[in-house]
Amino acid sequence: MALLEHVAATEVMTVRMEGAVRRPFVLQQCAIALGRLGDVRAVPRLVGMLAECESAASLAAVAQGLGQIGDRRSIDPLAAALLDTKSTKLARAFAAAALGSVGDKDTYPWNARIAADTNYMATVDTLTNGTTGVLDIL
């Protein structure tokens, strides 16, 4: 829906995202779609989910969504989440990643230049191995 710029689907995706806390792939897809559509109403929901998420995949999905939206209203809650010593280190790390994405001046992520024209059939583990490759990082 985001690729089609179907803004009317934001309500459906928001409901789906809120119900997908235990399904990180669906959560990720909805959060990124809402971000690409620029739905600023999703910011408070995603910031709240950042504190509630327990899995790394869910935290990554929420951070990517907040980074895609890029709303400055998310800066204060993300900074508070980053400085909250009661949160897990992983939650704080994803809050930092989301802050970096919100403040990024470029349209595309930092590793887009590396990914451009890459032969995905002949990759090495340092580029992408599903977890720690340069192209796998937020």
> Which residues, 6 or more positions from 72, have their beta carbon under 8 angstroms from its beta carbon?
102
Q: Tell me the C-alpha to C-alpha distance, in Å, between residue 71 and each of 41, 77, 132.
A: 10, 11, 28
- What is the reported pTM? 0.69
Amino acid residing at 123: T
Q: For the purposes of burial, counting CB atoms within 10 Å of the CB of 95, is it exposed (0-12), middle (13-18) or buried (19 or more)?
A: buried
- The maximal CA–CA distance of the chain, rounded, in angstroms, is 43
Render pLDDT for 41-62 as a digit per residue (tens, 0 to 9): 888 888 888 777 777 778 778 8
Report the mean per-residue pLDDT for the chain: 81
